[in-house]
Structure 1
């Protein structure tokens, strides 16, 4: 018995499913790419952050044209820009982390740049900064002069300040000048200058002067001093020697009567060897060195009372001798004229 083969169908095969004949698509012979596994997923990137800058000066005025550079934690440049007419600048699309902000120019001839600073960027947030550029300091030149000759004087120290605060101290050098930078808080400010140490040989300048200065402007401050008053030197140099040599007192008083005892001769400018040795009042050896010629002997005590006492005794003795002689003369008998001479 001949069996006829079943008719081939290119796109379907017969299959019995619960007693019903159905058609199902055949599998293709070409290989297909594997389906990605559900366990493999992409790591989501964190939200980026940003930095917003507002630029001002100490007076509160907006500064445009200030240039900045931004560096990441590795030192690579992450951005750059300048402030606009409103003084603003924004760095966007920054990964979270720490950045270094550097101002390269203030955009103004009156203002200085600020120091570098670190900025922390957090995910999805803007770090906002208000940066104030200080005014450039004034350049001060100090001169101290002689008030009459105008000569520059070294060694002068002055304080310069505003209000009750001292901002700068300067001391003139060998050339009589000194320089320094004075912080200026506004476009035009007033300052005082006071001398606290005068140059050698000069009086302290007591008046307190004032002056005005602007940012970055040169200013010259001049202080004048007067020489210290000096006492005139004496025309003749004083000497220790006396101007006149005192005369020696005499041993006998003036006006002695005749007939008394003989008196000692008066002392001369150069005493002899015997009269030059006088016993001292304190009992020392009278053979002490003799006094040089032309000067009185030094006895340790004033000899004037002794001399006057001796002269008084001599005077009393002379008067007594005269009185005794007169008594003897009166007691002698007068010769008898009637006496026999044979």
Structure 2
């Protein structure tokens, strides 16, 4: 009753003032504190995962099924492993963002080589796509240079091997007449040419350009043949004469090598005057038989020269001088006797 009177009095007072104001009644219960923003627990949402998609093919553009890849995280731990399908595709899902290492462990083909390792970056909520191109295995080339007649292997032959306008390999045969190398391949079958640029010693250059076909990883043998260089025959030194020609014997009256002696020439010898007297004739006949006493060398041997022939030459010259002097003396005496007879008769 008392409370109702109080409320009525309050209502009358408000009505008299013409204004109504609502104020919540105070409560004796303690108010709960409002938590601050800093005191609320912090929760960081997990980032969205990413993925990696791989397409494997060869240099000709054909898909490579059954190619195997390994994905390693930054700590070197395996994060995924996969193999390409018939279209050459492989996917690594649910990867945390970061840098990964992609490693190919198999190509799925005996004709191809694996690629080198590479880094892959995975971003949140995105797919990283990679195209892997596996190269063809190189062809194994064996070069031989042969003699075109005997088939003997020849060292020192140098050839260029290439395709189109490009030279891919240069080989020189060694001591055994062979050389080997690797030819890069761009398809499952490639046509190459071979051209010799240096011939073996003593042989002509093989001028034609040969062609051959090679496949990835397959051995192939290439042979060039060379012809011996023709050389004009030269005279054999053994065909030269082994003996000297035999000189002719010395002529009478000519000087011969010896101790320095010289025989008088025909101009220096006294010549008897022409006379028809018997004495002169007999004198001429007496002087005629004088001959060179130098011994002649036998046929087929060298003539004797030197000091052995000198005494004979000196003796022959002395005999000639003596004979000429005697003939001259007889001639003069005959003329003197003829003049004396003529004087007596007159």
Specify the TM-score bucket, using the shorter chain as the normaliser.
0.5 to 0.7
CA distance in structure 1 between the partners assigned to 2:181 and 2:52 by the alignment: 37
CA distance in structure 2 between the partners assigned to 1:102 and 1:238 by the alignment: 80
Counterpart of 1:150 in structure 2 is 151
CA distance in structure 1 between the partners assigned to 2:28 and 2:305 by the alignment: 178
Q: Any idea what the Cα deviations from partners look like across 1:31-65, whole Å, max 9, x if unmatched? A: xxx99973431233333332222222222222222
Contact 2:294–2:309 (8 Å) recurs in 1: no
CA distance in structure 1 between the partners assigned to 2:227 and 2:306 by the alignment: 64
SS at match of 1:333: helix
Structure 1 pair 334/146, CA: closer, same or farther in 2 (3 Å)? same
Counterpart of 1:243 in structure 2 is 245
The correspondence of residues 199-278 of structure 1 with structure 2, limited to 5 A, is 199-230=200-231, 231=233, 234=236, 236-238=238-240, 242-245=244-247, 247-248=249-250, 250-251=252-253, 269-273=303-307
CA distance in structure 1 between the partners assigned to 2:49 and 2:248 by the alignment: 116
The correspondence of residues 19-30 of structure 1 with structure 2, limited to 5 A, is none
Contact 1:248–1:267 (8 Å) recurs in 2: no
Are 2:107 and 1:73 equivalent residues in the alignment? Answer: no
Structure 1 pair 229/39, CA: closer, same or farther in 2 (3 Å)? same
Contact 1:249–1:267 (8 Å) recurs in 2: no
Contact 1:251–1:266 (8 Å) recurs in 2: no
Structure 1 pair 36/338, CA: closer, same or farther in 2 (3 Å)? closer
Which of these two proteins has the greater Rg computed from alpha carbons? 2
Structure 1 pair 127/267, CA: closer, same or farther in 2 (3 Å)? farther
CA distance in structure 1 between the partners assigned to 2:26 and 2:121 by the alignment: 73
Are 2:339 and 1:333 equivalent residues in the alignment? Answer: yes
Are 2:47 and 1:46 equivalent residues in the alignment? Answer: yes
Structure 1 pair 330/71, CA: closer, same or farther in 2 (3 Å)? farther
The correspondence of residues 123-138 of structure 1 with structure 2, limited to 5 A, is 123-138=124-139
Shift of 1:81: 1.0
SS at match of 2:93: strand
Q: Which has the higher helix share?
A: 2
Shift of 1:101: 0.8
Shift of 1:71: 0.7
Instruction: Between 229-238 and 45-54, report the one with greater CA deviation.
Output: 229-238
Contact 2:138–2:183 (8 Å) recurs in 1: yes
Segments of 5+ residues of structure 1 without an aligned counterpart are 1-17, 26-33, 277-317
Aligned residues: 276
Counterpart of 1:301 in structure 2 is none
TM norm structure 2: 0.62
The correspondence of residues 306-325 of structure 1 with structure 2, limited to 5 A, is none
Counterpart of 2:108 in structure 1 is 107
SS at match of 1:178: strand
SS at match of 1:108: coil
SS at match of 1:203: coil
SS at match of 2:204: coil
SS at match of 1:335: helix
Contact 1:251–1:263 (8 Å) recurs in 2: no
Segments of 5+ residues of structure 2 without an aligned counterpart are 1-22, 255-264, 273-283, 297-302, 311-323
